[in-house]
């Protein structure tokens, strides 16, 4: 009897998960973003849930892009910010991987890539980069940019 009840519970859990995935997919198809700004420097959300520039944080983001365009690498930029006592969005020390992640983030040029990462069925609580395994959606000019598209593109060229 316990096995039967466990089986029902497992199927219910799977059904809820599928419904949630379907709901999120429909939001993405309509261009509705689901972004957390708690770990995303440079932006806040307004009352409608849209991204708006956080002026103080945006200064740091712009500086990171400027330093990189001046020829400084991610490690050096992290070292500069740490030496000046500028904390990350989570209040921690800067790492070169944090800088690199910011430099390749399309949100800073005003675009939005939905489903850039996804959680595979067999890997609970772990995301992987989406290389076409599931549908993704790219929205140009979704919100106000912190850096120009020209600056962002130039950074991408240098990084290659």
pLDDT digit string (tens) for 61-105? 999 999 999 999 999 999 999 999 999 999 999 999 999 999 999
Q: What is the pLDDT, as a whole number, of residue 95?
A: 97
Cα–Cα distance, 41 to 156 (Å, whole number): 19
pTM (global) more than 0.75: no
């Amino acid at each position: 009897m316990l096995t039967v009840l466990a089986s029902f519970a497992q199927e219910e859990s799977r059904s809820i998960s599928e419904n949630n995935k379907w709901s999120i997919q429909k939001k993405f198809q309509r261009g509705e973003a689901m972004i957390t700004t708690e770990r995303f420097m440079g932006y806040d959300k307004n009352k409608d849930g849209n991204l708006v520039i956080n002026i103080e944080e945006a200064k740091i983001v712009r500086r990171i892009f400027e330093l990189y365009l001046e020829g400084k690498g991610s490690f050096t930029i992290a070292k500069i910010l740490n030496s000046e006592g500028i904390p990350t969005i989570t209040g921690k020390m800067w790492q070169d991987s944090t800088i690199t992640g910011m430099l390749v983030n399309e949100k800073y040029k005003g675009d939005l890539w939905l489903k850039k990462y996804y959680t595979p069925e067999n890997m609970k609580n772990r995301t992987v980069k989406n290389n076409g395994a599931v549908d993704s959606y790219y929205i140009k000019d979704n919100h106000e940019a912190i850096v120009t598209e020209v600056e962002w593109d130039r950074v991408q060229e240098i990084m290659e």
